Chains A and B, each alone.
Chain A
Amino acid sequence: MALLKASDLVKRFGNANAVKGINFHIEEGRCVSLLGPNGAGKTTTLKMLSGLLEPTSGSIDFKGKKAKDLRPFIGYLPQYPAFYNWMSGKEFLVFAGQLAKLNRKEAEKRSEELLERVSLTNAKKRKIAGYSGGMKQRLGLAQALIHRPQLLILDEPVSALDPLGRREVLDMMREIKEETTILFSTHVLHDAEEISDDILIMHAGEIAISGSLESVMEAYRQPILQIEFESQAADWLKSIASYSFVSEVSIQGNKANIVLGDMVNGKQTLLKDIVDRKLPVRKFEISQTTLEDLFMKVVKA
């Protein structure tokens, strides 16, 4: 049974449609990533699920029942988390825990556990005002987990972090997903590929593609040829578009990605061409389209 199911969810701001009637569901125990370019409607969607924003129309079911207030079951990390900067990290967690109806003792205990888990134990007594961006993000993660939510919703949990901070948060998410269902938005495709089980790609307020990561990759995967030259070879690259087995050529500087209809024939012909013309080739590789290629295709369509 789906943990959460959104039906015909619409959000209108004035006369702008931020979310245009989307349908999806989240299975229990999965880690789902919500992908999309800036302004796709990711934050708007997540806020509606977490009860911070009233949908214009549509419904949200939680565990098969129409949901009234999901907030007790959901842990939410906003895109730009904010804190009481005069509190210490520990104080804020205890405060959040008590608001989530833990008693003082439980809140203290759970806060210590989570501080340990997000490696803030050493900084727990310091004022949040003095925390770095990465530390605040980890504190945000901890406050979202304080009441052991059944669904953890993270809005761009790693976008604002440096590579090291990103690594840390991703590792934490990998641990958390063992026990909690996660829905997170990102535009870093590599992260989605790395830790999610299912993906939802949003574009302009609609869900363009959804499914398990493997099935989506399987369905949309195409063999491609990647050629890299020592200098520009644009003339030849343009000319090959006329071959019947070439379905798409995209050129970026000295590199080109070529989608081939018939890999076996195509690669022979192109390789022969290169040799005949003595083109200065550096790399000639057969690979598969990535999530990024798929994403670009959806967004540009």
Chain B
Amino acid sequence: MTQWTVLYRKEMTEMMRNYKMIWIPIVFILLGVMQPVSSYYMPEILDTFGGLPDGTILEMPTPTGTEVLMNVLSNYGMLGVLILVLSAMGVVSAERQSGVAGMVMIRAVPYSSYILSKWAGLLTITLISLFIGYAAAWYYTGLLIETVAFERIFQSVVIYSIWLVFVVTLTLLFSTIMKGNGSVAFVSIFVVFAISTVTSILGKYMKWSPATMTEHTGQVLLSGELDSSFLLAFITTIAIIIFLLILSIQIFKHKELLE
């Protein structure tokens, strides 16, 4: 077994023992299921709690299935990102702080194996949570509202996952650079937010931005067609992810690991 495999298995075991492997997917499932359920029951909810005067006629168009799923993804984009960043913030920094990272690196482990095992662990939890949560959302949307073609679901979730992978890779970088968990989370969220905002304001010039993945996801859901700028965005995002990983490894190499 290679050192990388040993480290990756340790990551997985750790996430099982501290229940991250359970509660993060549960949060994604809840976020996913809430949307179709609340859309379906909205008229009744308003009826019961709304306290609207008798005779008010509610014009509430029932959203389409794709609209519901787009709302699910926008929830993932806010709360989902927050949860992922908060759960990933200590991935390197906590081990540096406690000194256990030094105990690992004593064993002639390549710096890249250490960082890449961390990355693979984050990737696993992110993709599992997203896929399960989104599948649940799809199932309930089909049950309560209308069926959305599986092909579109599959394409959209794959594209969306690239954005989330970018987010956790960024968190991994900041966790390598900084020591305090709070500052790692704060800076990661801030940067993700800034990239999203700048991308939506300067859309024309930001066709390459990783944040356009969320737009491409919506596009695929709605029309089943990919925008022509997708390839550019895809290539730059993958390149940025690789660059962030290399940067993390280089920075980790130059950190002092035992106090």
A residues near B (Cβ < 8 Å) are 47, 50-53, 69, 71-72, 76, 78-84, 86, 95-96, 98-101, 103-104, 143, 147
Whether B106 pairs with A83 at a CB distance below 8 angstroms is no
The 8 A CB mask of B98-113 against A (1 = contact, 0 = none) is: 1110111111110000
The 7 closest A-B pairs by CB, nearest first: A82-B99, A71-B108, A99-B107, A82-B100, A98-B6, A82-B98, A76-B106
Question: Could you give 27 example pairs across A and B, Cβ below 8 Å?
Answer: A51-B108, A52-B257, A52-B258, A69-B108, A71-B107, A78-B258, A79-B258, A80-B99, A81-B103, A82-B98, A82-B100, A82-B103, A83-B100, A84-B10, A84-B100, A86-B17, A86-B18, A98-B1, A98-B3, A99-B3, A99-B104, A99-B109, A100-B107, A103-B1, A104-B1, A143-B103, A147-B107
Contact of B258 among A47, A84, A104, A147 (CB under 8 A): A47
Within 8 A of A (CB), among B220-259: 256-259
Complex: chain B residue closest to A101, CB-CB: B3
| Residues of the A chain whose Cβ atoms lie less than 8 Å from the Cβ of B257 | 52
Whether A84 pairs with B14 at a CB distance below 8 angstroms is yes
Whether B259 pairs with A95 at a CB distance below 8 angstroms is no
| Residues of the B chain whose Cβ atoms lie less than 8 Å from the Cβ of A147 | 107
Is chain A's interface secondary structure helix, strand, loop, or mixed overall? loop
Complex: chain B residue closest to A92, CB-CB: B103
| Residues of the B chain whose Cβ atoms lie less than 8 Å from the Cβ of A76 | 106
B residues near A (Cβ < 8 Å) are 1, 3, 6-7, 10, 14, 17-18, 98-100, 102-109, 256-259
Complex: chain A residue closest to B257, CB-CB: A52
Whether A52 pairs with B17 at a CB distance below 8 angstroms is no
Whether B100 pairs with A50 at a CB distance below 8 angstroms is no
Complex: chain B residue closest to A155, CB-CB: B258
| Residues of the A chain whose Cβ atoms lie less than 8 Å from the Cβ of B14 | 84, 86
The minimal Cβ–Cβ distance linking B17 to chain A, given in whole angstroms, is 5
Whether B102 pairs with A78 at a CB distance below 8 angstroms is yes
Complex: chain B residue closest to A146, CB-CB: B107
The minimal Cβ–Cβ distance linking A292 to chain B, given in whole angstroms, is 28
| Residues of the A chain whose Cβ atoms lie less than 8 Å from the Cβ of B99 | 78, 80-82
Task: Give Cα A81 to B256, complex, Å.
Answer: 15
| Residues of the B chain whose Cβ atoms lie less than 8 Å from the Cβ of A104 | 1
Complex: chain A residue closest to B256, CB-CB: A53
| Residues of the B chain whose Cβ atoms lie less than 8 Å from the Cβ of A101 | 3
| Residues of the B chain whose Cβ atoms lie less than 8 Å from the Cβ of A79 | 258
Whether A99 pairs with B6 at a CB distance below 8 angstroms is yes
Known interface pairs A52-B105, A76-B106; 15 further A-B residue pairs with C-beta atoms within 8 A, sorted by A's residue number: A52-B257, A52-B258, A72-B108, A80-B99, A82-B100, A82-B102, A84-B100, A86-B14, A96-B103, A99-B6, A99-B107, A99-B109, A103-B1, A104-B1, A147-B107
Complex: chain B residue closest to A78, CB-CB: B258
The minimal Cβ–Cβ distance linking B70 to chain A, given in whole angstroms, is 39
